[in-house]
Amino acid sequence: MFRSLVLALAVLAPAAAQAQGSPRETVGAIAAEIRDTYFSVERGDAIADALEAEAAAGKYDKLTDPRDLAASLSDRLRPEDAHFNVLWSAEPMGPPPAAGPGGAGPRHPGPPPAQQAGLNPERLSNYGFVNVQVLPGNIGLIEMRSFADIDFDDPKDPARRAADAALSLVANADAVIFDLRNNGGGSPGMVGYLVSAFTPADANIYNVFHSRQGTRDEKPGEFYASPRLDVQLYVLTSGRTGSAAEALPYTLQAARRATIVGEASGGAANPGGVAPIPGGFRVFISGGSPINPVTGKNWEGTGVLPDVAVPASDALNVAQARALDAIVAADARRTDAAWARQALNPPAKPAAALSAYAGNYGSLSVALNSDRLEVRRGRRPPLALSPLGGDVFAVATDPLAHFVFERDGAGKVIAVEQRDPFGPGQRQRRDP
Domains of the chain: 2-115 (no CATH), 123-274+285-329 (3.90.226.10), 348-429 (2.40.128)
Looking at the predicted structure, is the pLDDT value of residue 417 above 90? yes
Q: Going by C-beta distance under 8 Å and a sequence separation of 6 or more, which residues neighbour residue 217? A: 206, 207, 208, 209
Q: What is the spatial distance between Cα 75 and Cα 216, in angstroms, rounded to a whole number?
A: 30
* DSSP annotation string for 3-29: HHHHHHHHHHHHHHHHHS--HHHHHHH
Q: 177 falls in which pLDDT band (50, 70, 90)? A: very high
Query: Which residues, other chains included, contact 428 with Cβ-Cβ below 8 Å and sequence gap of 6+?
Result: 361, 362, 363, 364, 415, 416, 417, 418
- Give residue 16's identity as a one-letter amino acid code: A
| C-alpha span between 268 and 265 (Å, rounded) | 8
pLDDT tens for each residue of 23-68: 999 999 999 999 999 999 999 999 999 999 999 999 999 999 999 9
Euclidean distance between CA atoms 136 and 6, whole angstroms: 41
Name the DSSP letter for residue 404: E
This prediction's pTM: 0.85
Mean per-residue pLDDT, 285-309: 96
Specify the pLDDT at position 7: 30
Distance in angstroms (rounded) separating the CA atoms of residues 151 and 221: 8
Q: What is the pLDDT of residue 351?
A: 78
DSSP percent split of the chain into helix, strand, coil, nearest 5:
35, 25, 40
**Alpha-carbon distances, residue 416 vs 216, 353, 356, 428 (angstroms):** 64, 16, 12, 6
pLDDT the model gives residue 95: 46
Question: CB count, 10 Å around CB of 390?
Answer: 10
State the Cα–Cα distance between residues 366 and 187, nearest whole angstrom. Answer: 52
Helix residue spans in 226-346 (DSSP H): 244-254, 315-330, 335-344
Of residues 206 and 121, more confidence is placed in: 206
pLDDT at 111: 41
Residue 348: the pLDDT is: 80
Does residue 405 contact residue 421 with C-beta atoms inside 8 Å? no
Confidence of residue 424 (pLDDT cuts 50, 70, 90): confident
- Give, in degrees to the nearest 5, the angle at Cα 59 between 56 and 60: 95
* Digit-coded pLDDT (tens) for 246-265: 999 999 999 999 999 999 99
Residue 352 confidence (pLDDT) above 90: no
Q: How confident is the model at residue 20 (pLDDT cuts 50, 70, 90)?
A: low
pLDDT category at 117 given cuts 50, 70, 90 is low
* Residue type at position 421: P
Query: Smallest Cα–Cα separation from 428: which of 375, 386, 389, 380?
Result: 375
Tell me: pLDDT of 346 over 90: no
41-56 vs 66-77: helix crossing angle, rounded to 10: 140
Residue 158's φ and ψ, nearest 5 degrees, are -65, -35
What confidence tier does 380 reach under pLDDT thresholds 50, 70, 90?
very high
